[in-house]
Structure 1
Amino acid sequence: MHIKERRLIAGACRVLAARGLTPGFLGHVSLRVDDERLLVRCRGPRERGLAFTTEQDVRLVTLDGDPGTGGELDGWSVPHELPLHTEVLRTRPDVTAVVHAHPEDVVAADLAGLAIRPIVGALDIPGAHLAAGGVPVYPRSVLIRTRALAAQMTAAMGDRPVVLLRGHGLTSAAADVPGAVLQALSVDRLARIMLAVSSAGGVPRDLPPEDLAELPDLGAGLTSEIAWRHELARLSHRRHHGARRR
């Protein structure tokens, strides 16, 4: 059941790990399948971290964390932060996929007082537009393991696609799994550039409004479909030949 979707989520987990957004073994990706259930990356009996996720690690569960069908959680446990996913899905009908990751550059930039801003243009057009709309911050550095805490996070997130979690990571929400992952990658890229500019003694500055207005929508075929194929191809190349993180 949902074999294609499980494979998609597993690939997304490996992409996040390859890009350095989930150092270690923490983080998870989910996908809504109907009004009451979602597929989510769970922890199995041979847990090794997101870099080694397979479709068997992706399990069907209810919004309350119960098995979505018979035997679905036999040998697997749902993430402690499952409410982070389910509260977004409950409150955001526009969202189908949720990514929770721990990109260290994003955490460092926030702790340094650097808000994610549109400081680059054609280098990352979707990222520039995302940042221009604002990337809010949930100010509590806690494990979001209850609906009450998740409600605080979603309140901070509002209708934005990404929220930073202070001293913790980020949550990215989108209409599909590739979109949620690519958003997280854009925020991580902006954070790294902002840290580099600041470390060089510069001051990150927003694009001029006229430059931001000039950045075109290149269409989902380029900014999503090709970008996602690139991430999967890069992952395959890295697995077979070895590669640097970025």
Structure 2
Amino acid sequence: MSAELAPARTSIAQACRVLAARGLADGILGHISLRVDGRRLLVRCRGPEERGLAFTTDADIRLVDLDGEEGAPGELDGGYTPPNELPLHTEVLRSRPDVAAVVHAHPPDVVAADLAGIAIRPIVGAFDIPGTRLAAGGVPVHPRGVLIRDRRLAAEMVASMADRPVVVLRAHGLTSAAESVEQAVLQAISVDRLARLSLRVVSAGGTLVDIPDADMAELPDLGAGFNTATAWRHELARLG
């Protein structure tokens, strides 16, 4: 496998372990991809000794093309296969030139909140500024709880997602898209955090209320150095 892609393989493998550590993909389901060029992407594949995202290694990250064929000789050797839902990734990458990384995860609290009729809303302020801004822009819901295994089903999801960074998949999970793997994972973590808080508030008998516009206007942009770089160092440190 190409040595020049080794750092990217490491980043994706780490991100898979972060998803698992955060409980967003704590079983054998879920995957992350990263655009390499106009026709190829690195994606978390399943090997002959699959153990789940918590145990992802660099060897699990393979180069494929948009049709699921190996992106270079030997990339799918050893019994590795792309995920069944590879079209979920490739259709986002085909249709969204602003996106380089796609995360698909199965956060239980996100699924539960949606099934309970609870939307992802900006109910907090400084507690999670990036998450609040994301929620304020809207988190759409794709209404089909299907395995997104072909381009037709993936195109339906992309239509539901529109130009937003995250879409909730009813009775399924979520898809998060961004310019980097780190940002895509952090977005998913924020949506999961908001879903979990919403469930707690409702279960305690409270009512969900969006933060006032005046408070939203006071929330500063702390910049990518803090919101992404520092936050990501924290996530990697949590892995031990």
Structure-2 residue corresponding to 1:66: 69
For residues 69 and 174 of structure 1, the distance between their equivalents in structure 2, rounded to whole angstroms, comes to 25
3-state secondary structure, aligned to 1:173: strand
Structure-2 residue corresponding to 1:244: none
Amino acid at match of 1:176: S
Structure-2 residue corresponding to 1:11: 14
For residues 58 and 197 of structure 1, the distance between their equivalents in structure 2, rounded to whole angstroms, comes to 39
For residues 25 and 212 of structure 1, the distance between their equivalents in structure 2, rounded to whole angstroms, comes to 38
Structure-2 residue corresponding to 1:88: 92
For residues 33 and 130 of structure 1, the distance between their equivalents in structure 2, rounded to whole angstroms, comes to 26
Structure-2 residue corresponding to 1:228: 232
Structure-1 residue corresponding to 2:57: 54
The alignment yields a C-alpha RMSD, in angstroms, of 0.4
Amino acid at match of 1:110: D
3-state secondary structure, aligned to 2:59: helix
Pairing partner for 1:98 from 75, 82, 102: 102
Structure-2 residue corresponding to 1:29: 32
- Could you give the per-residue CA deviations for residues 98-146 of structure 1, whole angstroms, max 9, x where no partner exists? 0000000000000000000000000100000000000000000000001
Structure-2 residue corresponding to 1:197: 201
TM-score norm. by structure 1 comes to: 0.95
Pairing partner for 2:179 from 175, 183, 205: 175
Q: Does 1:206 align with 2:210?
A: yes
For residues 26 and 14 of structure 2, the distance between their equivalents in structure 1, rounded to whole angstroms, comes to 16
Structure-2 residue corresponding to 1:216: 220
- Could you give the per-residue CA deviations for residues 139-190 of structure 1, whole angstroms, max 9, x where no partner exists? 0000000100000000000000000000000000000000000000000000
Q: What are the residue-to-residue correspondences of 1:109-148 with 2, within 5 Å?
A: 109-148=113-152
For residues 112 and 209 of structure 1, the distance between their equivalents in structure 2, rounded to whole angstroms, comes to 26
Provide structure 2 residue ranges, at least 5 long, that are not aligned to the other structure: none
Task: Give the fraction of aligned pairs with identical amino acids, expressed as a percent.
Answer: 72
Aligned residues: 236
Amino acid at match of 1:223: N
- Could you give the per-residue CA deviations for residues 46-86 of structure 1, whole angstroms, max 9, x where no partner exists? 10000000000000000000000011111100000000000
3-state secondary structure, aligned to 1:107: helix
3-state secondary structure, aligned to 2:126: coil
The structure 1 segments of at least 4 consecutive aligned residues displaced by more than 3 Å after TM superposition are none
Structure-2 residue corresponding to 1:187: 191
1:23 to partner: Cα distance: 2.4
For residues 200 and 208 of structure 2, the distance between their equivalents in structure 1, rounded to whole angstroms, comes to 9
Pairing partner for 2:167 from 163, 168, 172: 163
For residues 88 and 56 of structure 1, the distance between their equivalents in structure 2, rounded to whole angstroms, comes to 24
For residues 146 and 111 of structure 2, the distance between their equivalents in structure 1, rounded to whole angstroms, comes to 13
For residues 136 and 177 of structure 1, the distance between their equivalents in structure 2, rounded to whole angstroms, comes to 21
For residues 26 and 38 of structure 1, the distance between their equivalents in structure 2, rounded to whole angstroms, comes to 19
For residues 14 and 74 of structure 2, the distance between their equivalents in structure 1, rounded to whole angstroms, comes to 23
Amino acid at match of 1:211: D
Amino acid at match of 1:209: D
Structure-2 residue corresponding to 1:239: none
Amino acid at match of 1:13: C
Provide structure 1 residue ranges, at least 5 long, that are not aligned to the other structure: 237-246
